[in-house]
Structure 1
């Protein structure tokens, strides 16, 4: 990793709708980059961000940015961003999240910031229809119109941007797709011994010989929970040793699961609700397979985390997931929104446990080779340096 920071640091401002998401999502990366550039962040304030700002040692300016369409508030955000950019004079503004991308890129363009970059960490429009789809595509086109550099998170996102003609500008995927990478020292199965895993399983009523499928994420429709519950409910009828561990909640969500799905979750004794957990590592370590039937993602970090913890995954054929998982090497890929395919995949995992164990030996090595966070940080730094040198060529 490069150890020679520039003697005079140029300023880079990173923006997101919520400041907390920048620090939580890019943990450690901002601090690393601050050795070479004067890093600064802008986004909406919440009290949870304060200890993260202190830990990273990065200056943060709080400007409210609405996540939904709000014309008057959006104009206020653009004006405040414009004033801040004029005052701070960064050579680069780099945004992520759709709404922050729109207002940041426009404000930076108006403020004559030389370089303006946006990271597409996921696209919403591919799963929408009608007027909403048109609005979302138009928003993404405007972001690209005002950005000078566009970074899709993964080849799938890049392909969608190209196929839907969102922009004709060059698209650059940094590193192997993930814009944050993974802390392999933090996600390490060796931290959890067999006694720890057996105790956690016992705490949730799981027997030593049971096969545990674990899901980690928001308990909402878009994450494929309906298909997962339908599929597992059928699987559990013939496999009393199968368990489904749900780690997550729907608190603060609007995409609520239907009552019928909740009825099955509550009535099937082989489905275990662990609720929201700040630390998901013990649950991954105590499980046998990860299952993630999401409808859409940019580059799902939870699939990286499961792989680093040695779990073969059953994932849907969507952006990101189908780049991390290699068929029959570290998991299997099934069609999205297909409960029958999911049911069949779970049955295969239950019947061919030696195959699952063999795939498990490949999981962590695969993640360690392609997605260590230090590698991603260095690639982001390299990209910033290329942008900085463009006008000198």
Structure 2
């Protein structure tokens, strides 16, 4: 029997490096894997695992003329290769793949929702972005959500029918590699030394893209408000909105306790060096960094929004706060900085939950079983 042809589509090597390498590895068991993405940026692909890779100029930003040309290119690519299934990740890749897959008559069209851009927008832009998600859900034959609460929102907002949308295992895109994300005292000491942070200093970590939607300005204000004598705050990730100067300004004299590391291919080292992960986001599909931190034995402070509420059990594996509530965030930081026993208990419980529910093997086994059912292999 001929190998099934599978094409994964996304916008950036960042998404592949953080989430999709397990797909490239495991899907080879059932078919010929292709990968289409925009490789024009500065971030290299970490691994392709033998996948046949194509560069398609898929921009994350709205660019109508460019998007039309990309749609034509993607449709031709699909038609020429006659894929059995196409699977998209991310809003722009999702919209273009849904349209191109439908036009090219690809029999199985799958999209994974990982958060809704429109949830924080208002007016015409909210309507446009919401309509794009509706098109994605309508034109694809199957839909996945990376958390139960995100699935609930998609159904409640009439984006997708309940019977069409599934969550695999307990959620997340590809689970967490527990051999990589784990407590590591050696890395903890090395990285703290490199950052100029004392070994016993309380260290909070933000890990991800530096954008306003992630609530990092709220985090800066809360860190300043908490006035932690020995506290440090580390930001790791690309500064997409140019926020570093604003963060430093908000922290005033406390800016000496800030560290900015930029993009890293080794987030596990920063997690090993941290005491608490912070994700004060306004929108999140799941919060994969929370589970990665959990696997490393690190509790999290996060917004009480859909997606994050699946990743943090409030009072058991971390602490939740209302989105945008500066003083509430500050209180969470202060509480964890001054209660070693609580911080340790939350971290231990978070690690046990990550090991039982969110391992990469468990999640990817569910993904592979789902694919086998779709492709009848």
The alignment's TM-score, normalised by the length of structure 1, stands at 0.88
Q: Residue 348 and residue 52 in structure 1: after superposition, are their counterparts in 2 closer, same or farther (change >3 A)?
A: closer
2:329 to 339, 342, 351: 342
Structure 1 residue 271 corresponds to structure 2 residue 262? no
Identify the residue that residue 120 of structure 1 maps to in structure 2. 113
Identify the residue that residue 296 of structure 2 maps to in structure 1: 309
Deviations 1:288-347 (A, max 9, x none): 222221111112221111111111111111232211111221111111111011111122
Is the contact between residue 156 and residue 320 of structure 1 (CA under 8 Å) also seen in structure 2?
yes
* 2:205 matched residue in structure 1: 214
Residue 351 of structure 2 is aligned to residue 364 of structure 1:
yes
- Is 1:44 the counterpart of 2:33? The answer is no
Query: In 2, are the aligned partners of 1:19 and 1:62 still within 8 Å (CA)?
Result: no
State yes or no: 1:283 paired with 2:270. Answer: yes
Matched, 1:66 2:59: yes
Question: Contact between 2:249 and 2:255, CA under 8 Å: does it hold in 1?
Answer: no
Cα distance in 2 between the residues matched to 1:136 and 1:346: 34
SS of 1:27's equivalent in the other structure is: helix
Q: What is the CA–CA distance in structure 2 between the aligned matches of 1:258 and 1:11, rounded to whole Å? A: 44
Q: Distance in 1 between matches of 2:270 and 2:56?
A: 37
Given the superposition, is the C-alpha separation of residues 270 and 345 from structure 1 closer, same or farther in structure 2, using an over 3 Å criterion? farther
Q: 1:203 to 1:14 in 2, by over 3 A?
A: closer
Q: Which residue of the partner structure matches residue 197 of structure 1?
A: 188
Mean Cα displacement is larger for which, 297-306 or 18-27?
18-27
Whether the aligned pair in 1 keeps the contact of 2:17 and 2:45 (CA below 8 Å) is: no
Give the Cα separation in 2 of the matches to 1:260 and 1:99. 28
**What does residue range 111-190 of structure 1 map to in structure 2 within 5 Å?**
111-168=104-161, 170-189=164-183
State the alpha-carbon separation in 2 of the partners of residues 284 and 50 from structure 1: 22
Separation in structure 1 between the aligned mates of residue 43 and residue 207 of structure 2, nearest angstrom: 23
Q: Which residue of 1 aligns with 2:50?
A: 57
Whole-Å separation in 2 of the counterparts to 1:95 and 1:337 = 31
Pair 1:246-2:219 in alignment: no
Matches within 5 A, 1:89-128: 89-128=82-121
Check conservation: 2:4, 2:84, Cα contact below 8 A: yes
Aligned residues: 375
In structure 2, the gaps of 5 or more residues are: none
Cα gap change, 1:90 to 1:278, in 2 (>3 Å):
closer
In the TM superposition, residue 385 of structure 1 has moved relative to its aligned partner by 1.6
Q: Write out per-residue CA displacement over residues 251-275 of structure 1, whole angstroms, 9 at most, x where no aligned residue.
A: xx23x44965431346315522132
1:143-178 deviation digits (Å, cap 9, x = unpaired)? 112111011111122122112111336211112111
Query: Given that residues 9 and 35 in structure 2 are in contact (C-alpha distance below 8 angstroms), is that contact kept between their aligned partners in structure 1?
Result: yes
TM-score (norm 2): 0.91
Say whether the 8 Å CA contact 1:187–1:305 is kept in structure 2: yes
Larger Rg, first or second structure (1 or 2): 1
- Residue 319 (1) aligns with residue 306 (2): yes
